[in-house]
Amino acid sequence: MRPRGRPRKYRIVKIDPKISQFSPRGRPGRPDEVELKIDEFEALRLADYQGLAQKEAAKSMRISQQTFSRILRRAHKLIAQGITTGSLIRIQGGQYIISTRQQEPGTGETPKT
Protein backbone atom coordinates (compact mmCIF):
# COMPACT_ATOMS: atom_id res chain seq x y z
CA MET A 1 0.00 0.00 0.00
CA ARG A 2 1.43 3.39 -1.03
CA PRO A 3 1.45 6.29 1.42
CA ARG A 4 -1.20 8.90 0.73
CA GLY A 5 -0.58 12.57 0.12
CA ARG A 6 2.56 14.45 -0.75
CA PRO A 7 5.95 13.10 0.28
CA ARG A 8 7.47 14.88 3.29
CA LYS A 9 10.22 17.38 2.58
CA TYR A 10 13.46 17.21 4.47
CA ARG A 11 13.83 20.00 7.01
CA ILE A 12 17.13 21.89 7.20
CA VAL A 13 18.71 21.74 10.66
CA LYS A 14 21.79 23.83 11.51
CA ILE A 15 23.03 21.92 14.57
CA ASP A 16 22.73 18.33 15.72
CA PRO A 17 21.55 18.41 19.37
CA LYS A 18 24.36 17.69 21.85
CA ILE A 19 21.90 16.20 24.34
CA SER A 20 19.55 13.44 23.20
CA GLN A 21 17.25 13.20 26.22
CA PHE A 22 16.06 14.88 29.41
CA SER A 23 15.04 12.71 32.32
CA PRO A 24 13.05 13.79 35.39
CA ARG A 25 14.62 13.40 38.82
CA GLY A 26 12.73 12.32 41.89
CA ARG A 27 10.23 10.12 40.11
CA PRO A 28 10.42 6.46 41.15
CA GLY A 29 10.34 3.76 38.51
CA ARG A 30 10.72 4.20 34.79
CA PRO A 31 9.11 7.39 33.51
CA ASP A 32 6.93 7.53 30.43
CA GLU A 33 8.55 8.95 27.34
CA VAL A 34 7.76 11.62 24.74
CA GLU A 35 9.72 11.89 21.49
CA LEU A 36 10.73 15.30 20.20
CA LYS A 37 11.85 15.05 16.58
CA ILE A 38 15.00 16.87 15.43
CA ASP A 39 12.99 19.34 13.30
CA GLU A 40 10.82 20.15 16.34
CA PHE A 41 13.98 20.73 18.39
CA GLU A 42 15.29 23.05 15.63
CA ALA A 43 11.99 24.98 15.56
CA LEU A 44 12.22 25.52 19.34
CA ARG A 45 15.85 26.59 19.04
CA LEU A 46 15.18 29.11 16.27
CA ALA A 47 11.94 30.61 17.62
CA ASP A 48 12.28 30.42 21.39
CA TYR A 49 16.04 30.35 22.02
CA GLN A 50 17.30 32.59 19.19
CA GLY A 51 14.13 34.69 19.07
CA LEU A 52 13.67 34.58 15.29
CA ALA A 53 10.31 35.45 13.79
CA GLN A 54 8.47 32.46 12.37
CA LYS A 55 8.95 33.70 8.81
CA GLU A 56 12.75 33.96 9.27
CA ALA A 57 12.96 30.62 11.06
CA ALA A 58 10.90 28.91 8.36
CA LYS A 59 13.21 30.33 5.71
CA SER A 60 16.22 28.97 7.62
CA MET A 61 14.63 25.49 7.63
CA ARG A 62 13.48 25.90 3.99
CA ILE A 63 9.85 25.22 4.79
CA SER A 64 6.71 27.35 4.67
CA GLN A 65 5.74 29.56 7.61
CA GLN A 66 2.56 27.50 8.06
CA THR A 67 4.57 24.27 8.29
CA PHE A 68 6.99 25.91 10.74
CA SER A 69 4.07 27.05 12.89
CA ARG A 70 2.64 23.52 12.95
CA ILE A 71 6.03 22.00 13.90
CA LEU A 72 6.56 24.60 16.66
CA ARG A 73 3.05 24.06 18.08
CA ARG A 74 3.65 20.30 18.26
CA ALA A 75 7.07 20.85 19.91
CA HIS A 76 5.52 23.12 22.57
CA LYS A 77 2.83 20.53 23.26
CA LEU A 78 5.35 17.69 23.62
CA ILE A 79 7.61 19.69 25.95
CA ALA A 80 4.61 20.71 28.08
CA GLN A 81 3.44 17.08 28.20
CA GLY A 82 6.89 15.87 29.25
CA ILE A 83 7.24 18.47 31.98
CA THR A 84 3.72 18.16 33.43
CA THR A 85 3.67 14.35 33.43
CA GLY A 86 7.30 13.90 34.49
CA SER A 87 8.10 12.02 31.29
CA LEU A 88 11.50 11.46 29.76
CA ILE A 89 11.93 13.76 26.72
CA ARG A 90 13.91 12.01 24.00
CA ILE A 91 15.24 14.03 21.04
CA GLN A 92 15.57 11.88 17.92
CA GLY A 93 14.21 11.02 14.50
CA GLY A 94 12.38 12.81 11.76
CA GLN A 95 13.34 13.71 8.21
CA TYR A 96 16.04 16.33 8.28
CA ILE A 97 19.31 17.44 6.73
CA ILE A 98 22.10 18.92 8.84
CA SER A 99 23.52 21.90 7.01
CA THR A 100 25.89 24.62 8.15
CA ARG A 101 25.90 26.19 4.68
CA GLN A 102 23.64 28.80 3.18
CA GLN A 103 23.18 26.81 -0.06
CA GLU A 104 20.22 25.47 -1.94
CA PRO A 105 19.13 21.83 -1.40
CA GLY A 106 20.75 19.20 -3.56
CA THR A 107 24.31 20.49 -3.12
CA GLY A 108 25.89 17.62 -1.27
CA GLU A 109 23.84 17.79 1.94
CA THR A 110 23.19 14.36 3.42
CA PRO A 111 19.59 13.57 4.45
CA LYS A 112 18.96 11.83 7.76
CA THR A 113 15.86 9.88 8.75
Q: How far apart are CA 23 and CA 88, in angstroms?
A: 5
* % residues pLDDT > 90 (the chain): 51
Contact in structure between 64 and 5 (CB atoms under 8 Å)? no
pTM summary value: 0.77
Contact in structure between 79 and 44 (CB atoms under 8 Å)? yes
Cα dist from 62 to 27, 49, 68, 87, whole Å: 40, 19, 9, 31
pLDDT in tens, 18-72: 888 888 876 666 778 999 999 999 999 999 999 999 999 999 999 999 999 999 9
Between 19 and 111, name the one with better pLDDT. Answer: 19
